[in-house]
Structure 1
């Protein structure tokens, strides 16, 4: 079954609110085996809404509406759809009684326009609104299914999860749910990962592979339709095995988690501790780590030594290392090593991690924007320093540097 989501509301077009309903509904419909091919946003205009219905009906079996069920004159969804289908509107008495009871309990006068929320399209199944007043509708007409849901997410989600889903299931024929597994990668860019897996992506039939990226991380969604979770797992496992053969060194999780969460899990499993010393990243690494709930058991703390003075004072990096003729400078392999070693010793941690470099917008110490050194000091092992030449703006360089450093730490923990 092909579906189209039609979000109704001028406030969406003006950017006054974000259409989070579409994301939720797309995921929900996929779990029911319904493919969402289009998403439309239309304002509170009867002519344009009618046009959206006509276009949607020509290319989808199911139209799911959100919004336009309220009490005001610009809440037009039921009126326009009923007119388009040459159907009337009737009062849903239980919904009307609920509205009247609410106003009476609050000692408020109910204006006539509130009756609009209790109106239902002729022949439609009324869908109970457990958190609001506007009744939803489920309707089949001329071979097309129409599902009308409220716009506010606090009303839409409970209705969709309850009466809306029940109505859809009663109208589905042989639809198989979609099962997906998210694979998370680090240390490799989206284009390089795609090139590594290009023949698998181009030749995909079932399961399907869909790569997408965030800064410093890449994900691949492996999806299939199946009659059961066990049947889906067999197909997904086979696809994942082929991906691991090509890119296993970059695959840090088979679930949708950031790499810092996986690092905390590995630290906890091995009963080891981490400390950080940051310059270029200004505490971003520590922030990501401490965003993971319970990370205080594995992350002992960090220092932001942004200036040479603080590198010397807090980490005992010699000034002769940082400044003066012939000095390596703060942005150097040797300084990164010293920062990692000193913070590990200072905290009594198993790992010390450091970052120093140039985020821009201008050169520093005569060194180019994007040059970053990352130090990793591990108890009982020689300190390792990695050099990175990163592109992008200031914020992007900092994020990419931190994620690259976390990837190297993950490799050490995995091994």
Structure 2
């Protein structure tokens, strides 16, 4: 069942620099999805009238609803109104009631109203003014026809506080009046320590059976995500549809799935520790405390995470985790026996139920023919058994350290389950 689709156009040259990020489109997408409107396109544009006009023309040709954020201010480069008017082939009129409101607002604040502020009172012919209680630039709502199709255009101010309030107060109820009763449901799966190509090869035959479910595969550092979206006439139908494909894909990828509820691996590990009333301690060499940092970033982690040590030098491996000097001399710091000793030693020292030991070569230097950069040994001890995993990780120093911590969390999850 196809509902309306929307396009969001974020206007502002500052968002094309490394210093500003478009967050308005995220908030608008969330709100539109609640109405059953799927956001099919997002565009970020600088303050150029020609480019804005062309982007608006393209958007009106492919989206039922087009929302603009930004470009409604008083300066010469605020050009959203002009671009929309040009695309629609209409004029703008200066609304005297808006001008009076601006004068009153500026007078109360003891600020001079300059001529350039007046352009915020320019209203596109056929538009309905959306009063902005939190700023000087009102929004505009246009319900029109473009190339024989009904189109809704919404012009919103750029400041997030103004945009959010104006959408809630003015736009949402208007959209409810034009959007058909379509419900969108979403679901996701998060997997780790598995290649994206393997995930797609194994799950594509499943999700391709569901032509009414939109499936997206995303790859992030050490993690693969599957996102599912369905539009149906009722919320129950939509929820059931995404749950079905999610469940089948989860069963296929079970060993690698750590969450179907959007938790991080560290949140899952801490939850499992809490459920079992168990505690954890870590001894980290090549990861330099990254594993502990990820765990302690979760609120409430102190209930299950006791702490540990960064044992970069051989001396500290002995001092803090009781690794025998003779073992270090015989096998080297990066070895299976040392990873095992680190896990067992830190567990005993801290009085924890589980101990993790990580040692490896993160690079870019320090590798040899027998022990190359990326070689990592990961040990997990629970008092009854100690298992050591040998990893050969690729990439730069940051990637190797992150993947080592990711493998540690996934192995902890496996052990706890």
Aligned mate of 1:335, from 338, 342, 346: 338
Contact 1:71 1:116 in 2 (8 A): yes
**Paired residue for 1:253?**
259
Q: For residue 55 of structure 1, report the CA deviation from its aligned partner.
A: 2.2
Q: For residue 156 of structure 1, report the CA deviation from its aligned partner.
A: 1.8
Q: For residue 386 of structure 1, report the CA deviation from its aligned partner.
A: 0.8
**Partners in 1 of 2:25 and 2:227 — Cα distance?**
19
**Partners in 1 of 2:169 and 2:267 — Cα distance?**
33
Aligned mate of 1:162, from 162, 169, 174: 169
**Paired residue for 1:384?**
387
Aligned-residue Cα RMSD (Å) equals 2.0
The worse-fitting range, judged by mean Cα deviation, of 144-153 and 277-286 is 144-153
The answer on 1:345 being equivalent to 2:348 is yes
The worse-fitting range, judged by mean Cα deviation, of 116-125 and 339-348 is 116-125
Q: For residue 360 of structure 1, report the CA deviation from its aligned partner.
A: 1.0
The answer on 1:22 being equivalent to 2:25 is yes
| Deviation sequence 1:255-296 (CA, Å, 0-9, x none) | 112110111111111111111100010000000000101101
Uncovered stretches (5+) of structure 2, i.e. residues with no partner: none
Aligned mate of 1:109, from 104, 108, 112: 112
**Partners in 1 of 2:175 and 2:393 — Cα distance?**
49
Q: For residue 94 of structure 1, report the CA deviation from its aligned partner.
A: 6.0
Q: For residue 11 of structure 1, report the CA deviation from its aligned partner.
A: 2.2
Q: For residue 15 of structure 1, report the CA deviation from its aligned partner.
A: 4.2
The worse-fitting range, judged by mean Cα deviation, of 90-99 and 246-255 is 90-99
Uncovered stretches (5+) of structure 1, i.e. residues with no partner: none
Q: For residue 48 of structure 1, report the CA deviation from its aligned partner.
A: 2.4
Aligned mate of 1:370, from 344, 369, 374: 374
**Partners in 2 of 1:209 and 1:41 — Cα distance?**
24
Q: For residue 92 of structure 1, report the CA deviation from its aligned partner.
A: 4.8
Tell me which stretches of 4 or more aligned residues in structure 1 moved more than 6 Å. none
**Paired residue for 2:407?**
404
Q: For residue 178 of structure 1, report the CA deviation from its aligned partner.
A: 1.7
Contact 2:183 2:238 in 1 (8 A): no
Aligned mate of 2:139, from 107, 111, 136: 136
Aligned mate of 1:354, from 357, 380, 402: 357
Q: In the superposition, relative to structure 1, how do residues 272 and 206 fare at CA in structure 2: closer, same or farther (>3 Å)?
A: same
The 5 A counterparts of 1:252-271 are: 252-271=258-277
**Partners in 1 of 2:99 and 2:268 — Cα distance?**
52
Contact 2:187 2:246 in 1 (8 A): no
**Partners in 2 of 1:24 and 1:392 — Cα distance?**
35
The 5 A counterparts of 1:1-20 are: 1-20=4-23
Q: In the superposition, relative to structure 1, how do residues 280 and 15 fare at CA in structure 2: closer, same or farther (>3 Å)?
A: closer
Q: In the superposition, relative to structure 1, how do residues 341 and 95 fare at CA in structure 2: closer, same or farther (>3 Å)?
A: farther
| Deviation sequence 1:199-228 (CA, Å, 0-9, x none) | 113333133322212212221112211233
**Paired residue for 1:52?**
55
**Partners in 2 of 1:228 and 1:413 — Cα distance?**
39
Contact 1:96 1:115 in 2 (8 A): yes
| Deviation sequence 1:227-253 (CA, Å, 0-9, x none) | 333222222222223123311222222
**Paired residue for 2:398?**
395
The worse-fitting range, judged by mean Cα deviation, of 107-116 and 96-105 is 96-105
Contact 2:366 2:373 in 1 (8 A): yes
The 5 A counterparts of 1:286-325 are: 286-323=292-329
Q: In the superposition, relative to structure 1, how do residues 272 and 152 fare at CA in structure 2: closer, same or farther (>3 Å)?
A: same
Q: For residue 185 of structure 1, report the CA deviation from its aligned partner.
A: 1.6
Aligned mate of 1:241, from 224, 242, 247: 247
Q: Secondary structure at the match of 1:146?
A: strand
Contact 1:120 1:135 in 2 (8 A): no
User: How many residues in Structure 1 have an aligned counterpart in Structure 2?
Assistant: 409
Q: For residue 337 of structure 1, report the CA deviation from its aligned partner.
A: 0.7
Q: Secondary structure at the match of 2:158?
A: coil
Q: In the superposition, relative to structure 1, how do residues 262 and 95 fare at CA in structure 2: closer, same or farther (>3 Å)?
A: farther
Contact 1:139 1:146 in 2 (8 A): yes
**Partners in 1 of 2:99 and 2:278 — Cα distance?**
62
